[in-house]
Structure 1
Amino acid sequence: MSTFNDDPSRPEPVMDPAPPVATAALSSVRTGAAVSEGVVEDFARAYLADRRADRRWRVAVRLAWLLLFAVIAYALFANQKRASAPNGPHTALVEVRGEIAVEAEASAENINSALKSAFEDSGAQAVVLRINSPGGSPVQSGMVFDEIRRLKAKHNKKIYAICEEVCASGAYYMAAAADDIFVDKASIVGSIGVLMDGFGFTGAMEKFGVERRLLTAGENKAMLDAFSPVSEKQRALAQSMLDQIHAQFIGVVKEGRGARLKETPETFSGLFWTGEEAIKLGLADHLGNLDQVARDVIKAEEVIDYTPRENVAERLAKRFGASIGAGAVQALRSLPAIR
């Protein structure tokens, strides 16, 4: 059948216009397609931006690791360079700074390691222990004292203690092992005593209605617990322990100072004195500093520092707060301290 109109008199067939609903639907489809294309474009842009950000982040992380490795390599190189310093005649220096404790810079492990290296170096004419510390652990202090005595006897080499601002308690415990103690006239010296400090919260707990639920096996297992009352028996046990440690401290000072010590009723009471007064009491020998001792006493002006330093990882850990938790735990401990 032909679809063309051969008769001019007959009207041309005309298609009926689309109904309004169909027109609206078609328009909606076209609009939806445009919107879909826009959504796809936005998604593509977001995806590409995310990929670029991810790539930049990976590059930044790699650069950070590279920088960290470079710093560590430099630190190792610097330590190696310092360790290979000229070993001609010199004064060997070991620093004792800050609190004396197991995890501290002034721990027995660090100090004894440095002392051993200093005494074993044939170029070291003598060793100087330069101290600026308020004290700390009696165990750590005693370990250093014993090591100094051992190294002195083994290597037949003198060691001098130089007290700067503070040389008190556990720090003086160490200094007592030296052949001579040098101070500044305004240095703080002494404090030969032992303390055990802490807190008691039993009254506050009762006031706020807080119940302490503590289970132990052994009647003294919770001794000195901050949230439990202290019995007279436990107080007497703790005092006996402190007295024993104090007696050990006194014995060390008497052994180290010998006849130079001018003992008075206040010498071992925990009092402290200026460096000038400490010389009068026989707790120190002379006024002097590192340069003066190296030049005039040891006769070796070149000073080489044997003190171990914190590595890069330790410094970074402390910078980012890794030591906060340890500090909080330490603050709650009730351990004897010579300070």
Structure 2
Amino acid sequence: MLGIGKGKSFDPSVQDPTAKEWRLIERVVMANTNELKRGRRWGIFFKILTFIYLFILMAIFISSSNIGNVEKATGGHTAVIDVQGVIADGKTAGADTVVSSLRAALKHSDTKAVILRINSPGGSPVQSSYIYNEIMRLRGLNPEVPIYSVISDSGASGAYYIAAATQAIYANGASIVGSIGVTAAQFGFEELLNKIGVERRQFTSGEHKAFLDPYAELKPEEKEIFEALLNDVHQQFIDDVKAGRGDRLKFDDKTFSGLFWTGRQALEMGLVDGLKSTSELAREIGFERIVDFTYRPSPLESFASSLGVSMAEALVKITSSNELKLQ
């Protein structure tokens, strides 16, 4: 039987630890335990700190999100909406953002006038037409709140299309105004392909399905079709400008030719109504206080957008590096 004490087997190579060794072992164990406790406490502290930081960031994102931040009562103000950059779907000067900003400005009970602050070379005729039509509709629904345009550096092409819907257009003497026209351009590579011995193979169903193919010779009848299409869009542009400006326009053979002019020249032609800045116009209206109703992406949206672009660039780099390695 196994026993304790006298019946215990003795191994001379194994010695019982002394009291000093026990104390040493105890100190090591306690030191490790205390270190684990400190690490746990610091871990909890940093987790709480991270949570507070994220909470503050979220509060900032929400508070600075977009046009929902305007004060409830101002005692009367002039609402300003920026139309900047290329007019295109999904851009800050696209129909969705500009129209949403307009509606928000007119919904505010203290908005006494609206100014579109324009600095754009133009863009999509479709987006410009959407904005034009909505301005005309909103003017009819809110006759007591005038809508004006002020062109800063440039109000050309589609940007002027938008401005023509407002009750009056103002510019600086050196602004670029006009360019009432439509353009489309591409390159033709058919002769280059012939020179380098490349055969173009394309299969279509429909006589004009490969219409404006840059790798095929441009057919005279297709050129006429495309020019007719551009002329139709141009005529819509002209009709809307005439409807918006009325008898203020002084017509000549260059008015709708696609040329552009300075603000001072445009004033002589009836394309603008005066030379004023946004602040000057607000003072003249009688409501000097300016409130910005321009829709702007929140910091969170901007971060997500930039993150998406960064990820796309990273993927392109990864793909490119893989291709180089394969070569």
Give the letter for the 1:122 counterpart.
S
Counterpart in the other structure of 1:77? 63
- CA displacement 1:302-326 (0-9 Å, x = unmatched): 111111112335433554573998x
What is the CA RMSD across the aligned residues, in angstroms? 2.5
Give the letter for the 1:76 counterpart.
I
Give the letter for the 1:244 counterpart.
D
User: How many equivalent residue pairs?
Assistant: 265
Q: How far 1:210 moved relative to its partner?
A: 2.2
Give the letter for the 2:98 counterpart.
I
- Seen in structure 2, the aligned counterparts of structure 1 residues 300 and 224 have a Cα distance that, compared at 3 Å, is same
Match of 1:89 among 73, 76, 82: 76
Q: Distance in 1 between matches of 2:89 and 2:127?
A: 7
Give the letter for the 1:129 counterpart.
L
Match of 2:274 among 270, 286, 294: 286
Describe the SS at the equivalent of 1:79.
Answer: coil
Residue 272 in 1 paired to residue 272 in 2?
no
TM-score by length of 2: 0.75
Give the letter for the 2:69 counterpart.
R
Q: How far 1:204 moved relative to its partner?
A: 2.1
- Seen in structure 2, the aligned counterparts of structure 1 residues 163 and 235 have a Cα distance that, compared at 3 Å, is same
Percent identity reads 42
Kept after mapping to 2: 8 A contact 1:294/1:300: yes
Unaligned runs of 5+ in 2: 1-42, 313-327
- CA displacement 1:57-98 (0-9 Å, x = unmatched): xx99x96x9977754541221237723453430001111000
Structural mapping, 1:1-339, within 5 Å: 71-79=57-65, 82-156=69-143, 157-296=145-284, 298-316=285-303, 318-319=305-306, 322=309
Q: Distance in 2 between matches of 1:310 and 1:323?
A: 18
Q: Distance in 1 between matches of 2:107 and 2:70?
A: 13
Describe the SS at the equivalent of 1:160.
Answer: strand
Q: Distance in 2 between matches of 1:220 and 1:270?
A: 29
Kept after mapping to 2: 8 A contact 1:205/1:211: yes
Unaligned runs of 5+ in 1: 1-55, 326-339
Q: How far 1:244 moved relative to its partner?
A: 0.5
Give the letter for the 1:185 counterpart.
G
Q: How far 1:115 moved relative to its partner?
A: 0.7
Q: Distance in 1 between matches of 2:54 and 2:126?
A: 36
Give the letter for the 2:261 counterpart.
W
Kept after mapping to 1: 8 A contact 2:65/2:299: no
Q: How far 1:218 moved relative to its partner?
A: 1.1
Q: How far 1:155 moved relative to its partner?
A: 1.1
TM-score by length of 1: 0.72
Q: How far 1:301 moved relative to its partner?
A: 1.0
Describe the SS at the equivalent of 1:270.
Answer: coil
Structure with larger Rg: 1
Kept after mapping to 1: 8 A contact 2:64/2:299: no
Kept after mapping to 2: 8 A contact 1:93/1:127: yes
Kept after mapping to 2: 8 A contact 1:91/1:125: yes
Kept after mapping to 2: 8 A contact 1:71/1:312: no
Give the letter for the 1:220 counterpart.
H
Kept after mapping to 1: 8 A contact 2:65/2:297: no
- Seen in structure 2, the aligned counterparts of structure 1 residues 160 and 316 have a Cα distance that, compared at 3 Å, is same
Q: Distance in 2 between matches of 1:74 and 1:275?
A: 41
Kept after mapping to 2: 8 A contact 1:87/1:121: no
Q: Distance in 2 between matches of 1:84 and 1:174?
A: 27
